[in-house]
Amino acid sequence: MPSNGHKYSILLPTYNERDNLPIIIWLIVKYMKVSGYDYEVIVIDDGSPDGTLDVAKDLQKIYGEDIIVLRPRAGKLGLGTAYIHGIKHATGDFVIILDADLSHHPKFIPEFIKLQESGDYDIVSGTRYAGNGGVYGWDFKRKLISRGANYLSQVLLRPNASDLTGSFRLYKKPVLEKCISSCVSKGYVFQMEMLVRARQHNFTIAEVPITFVDRIYGTSKLGGTEIIQFAKNLLYLFATT
């Protein structure tokens, strides 16, 4: 399938994602290859003590240095600065941001790209709260808090988007640069502020319904079942042989 003439830089900020990285990169490569788009994956590791960077180096040997670009940093410097750092090294005219912890499925990336092309949108945002989007693995309390946070910010900020706290998005590169340079907040609120700034700059935003899965491995989960562990090891072997 021919490329559409654009290049997409996929930013993956990582911190202790050794188990997830082979799977997320395998999935990105799978869906981008099938779609025929020109792309690169920029891994921005913040000095993970668990050896995430070593795994990233192995993956780079498998998929090639033109596909997997490593831009590590010395310490845990936070998400906002990770994006700024990543943009500096991005050679694409579009930037895609997603979480490395498997909560965002790369299968949605081609949908983001197609929607962006259809209306020449500045930003395409994944939404858990429209169409057939959804959240899996969250208990009622977390869903309530998340919905509440979204509802409150809708009322206060009127950003013309249904999912403000999600971080699965596609941006035209100059649009992302402008939004980030206007942002002042850190952490959780940062994603929200990005869309608020986008509205202030009159950038156009389109939405793709996505399913969001709570992280399987890592700190916010007690640990996967044996079958998931088995599948993970299989995929890991597949990705590293």
Q: Which of 143, 109, 140, 147 has its CA nearest to residue 126?
A: 109
| Residue 220 confidence (pLDDT) | 42
| Residue 44 confidence (pLDDT) | 95
pLDDT < 50 positions in the chain:
217-224, 226-227, 230, 237, 241
Contact 171, 93 (CB under 8 A): no
| Residue 227 confidence (pLDDT) | 45
Query: What is the torsional sign of CA 122, 128, 131, 132?
Result: positive
| Residue 222 confidence (pLDDT) | 31
pLDDT in tens, 169-224: 999 999 999 998 888 766 556 777 888 888 889 999 999 988 777 655 444 433 34
Q: Could you give phi then psi for residue 69, rounded to 5 degrees?
A: -110, 125
Total-model pTM: 0.79
| Residue 182 confidence (pLDDT) | 83
- The enclosing H or E element of 84 equals helix 79-89
| Residue 230 confidence (pLDDT) | 45
Contact 188, 165 (CB under 8 A): yes
Contact 210, 104 (CB under 8 A): yes
| Residue 135 confidence (pLDDT) | 58
7-240, which class in CATH?
Answer: alpha beta
| Residue 132 confidence (pLDDT) | 61
CA separation (Å) from 9 to 20, 83, 208? Answer: 19, 11, 19
